[in-house]
Amino acid sequence: MSKTINCSLTIFLFFRLAVAQNMETTAKFLGANSCASSSCHGGGSVNQNQFLVWSLKDFHSQRPVATLATARAKQIADAAGIVDPTTDERCTTCHAPLRDVPEGLRGKNFEAGEGVSCESCHGPAENWLRSHTRTDYTRDDRTAAGMRDLENLYVRANTCVACHQVISQPLLLAGHPELIFELDGQSVAEPKHWSAAKNGNGAQVWFVGQAVALREISWELAQEKSPAENEINRWRGLIWLMDRVCAIDPNLPKAPDTTFRPNLENFGLVQKWGDALAQAAAKLQWTDKQSQAALVALANTSEDFETTIPQPVQARRAERLVLALDRLVTAQKNSQADAELNRLFQLAQSLPDFDPKTFAVALDKFSQTIEAH
């Protein structure tokens, strides 16, 4: 959980990566090998193969670090004024987070080049490694010992979203690809070293993840002296999406009363709203009825694509919308909408070529399919 909530620290600390937050504790990082014995998570059975799945199948284990040594990474680094992407924290924070762990918090078997490793997600293991497998331990016991509770959707989103969603403007200008992240789709697609039953309700996972994404994008924009118009449009598109979904439940915090002009004050307001929304959404007892309500609400937004709002903003709305519809349709197991949904994806694929009116017509057809289900 965020140190801003727990310790009332500055807003900046709130948005730092979860691994960086844990670096500031006294618990040591012991390294992935501490989890790898055959009697623990390195065995061959389904309930003991977590280390093997991560190390052999999950791209988090080697790919992030290896990416920093490619010619493309060197090209981006040169353009950004970075001497060595394999050691510069602007790159390693996400690609090799363990490199930033202070020497005093490194255990005997710690290896900085493990990539996004066990402790990057679960927290430094010194205080919970021996105890977390005890049958009498509850989730609260493990969390109290310092193990991150990833079944809590707010905690999970805080752990994943920042690296997968937000890239600083200097890196974007240097050629780093833009990222767009959707937490539920990522959880479903990733090779699982956990029980699929612990994924949670897909629609709720999607919603919490998007709320945290909005918070993170707002924070990043507040750090830029002159935010790029492209990034502002992404921000506006996500605000629109979250605002439409909030209409399904009166208990969800509503968007701040603002025109959403791109200035420091509004970035801060939306940042706080995104976090409040993520926390509230994570606590909901999400039902199929809510998933259907969210799906219907978003499917019936064609009029929002027939206005005088600038095309680049409309394109960003559509970009987020099609991902949302995909996860909500999946949650509702409505395969009858696949053809119309594929058409929407096709129309939203190219931002420069996006045609709001054509998209609105296709969205109406999709809505009719949903209502007939």
Cβ–Cβ < 8 Å for 313, 230: no
Is residue 191 classed exposed, middle or buried when 0-12, 13-18 and 19+ CB atoms within 10 A define those classes?
Answer: exposed
Each residue's pLDDT tens digit, 146-177: 999 999 999 999 999 999 999 999 999 999 99
Helix/strand/coil for 106? strand
Residue 125, Ramachandran bin (φ over 0: left; ψ between -120 and 50: alpha; else beta): alpha
Each residue's pLDDT tens digit, 337-350: 899 999 999 999 99
Cβ neighbour number for residue 56 with a 10 Å cutoff: 11
Closest listed residue to residue 255, CA positions, set 214, 294, 296, 208: 214
Q: What is the mean pLDDT of the chain?
A: 89
Distance of alpha carbon 167 from alpha carbon 85, whole angstroms: 15
Cα-based distances in Å from 68 to 81, 157, 326 = 15, 24, 32
Task: Please name the residue that has the structure tokens 């969390």.
Answer: 143
Cβ–Cβ < 8 Å for 74, 83: no
Half-sphere exposure of 241 (CA within 13 A, CB side): 30
Each residue's pLDDT tens digit, 193-227: 888 888 889 999 999 999 999 999 999 999 998 99
In this structure, of 4-18, 131-145, 221-235, 256-270, the range with the lowest mean pLDDT score is 4-18
Longest dimension (CA), the chain: 63
Distance of alpha carbon 45 from alpha carbon 43, whole angstroms: 6
Return the axis-axis angle of helices 264-283 and 229-246, rounded to nearest 10°. 40
Helix/strand/coil for 29? strand
φ, ψ of residue 309 in degrees (nearest 5): -65, 140
Task: Please name the residue that has the structure tokens 């280390």.
Answer: 51
Q: Indicate the pTM of the whole model.
A: 0.90
pLDDT score recorded for residue 372: 67
Q: How far apart are the first and last CA of the chain?
A: 40
> In whole angstroms, how large is the CA radius of gyration of the chain?
21
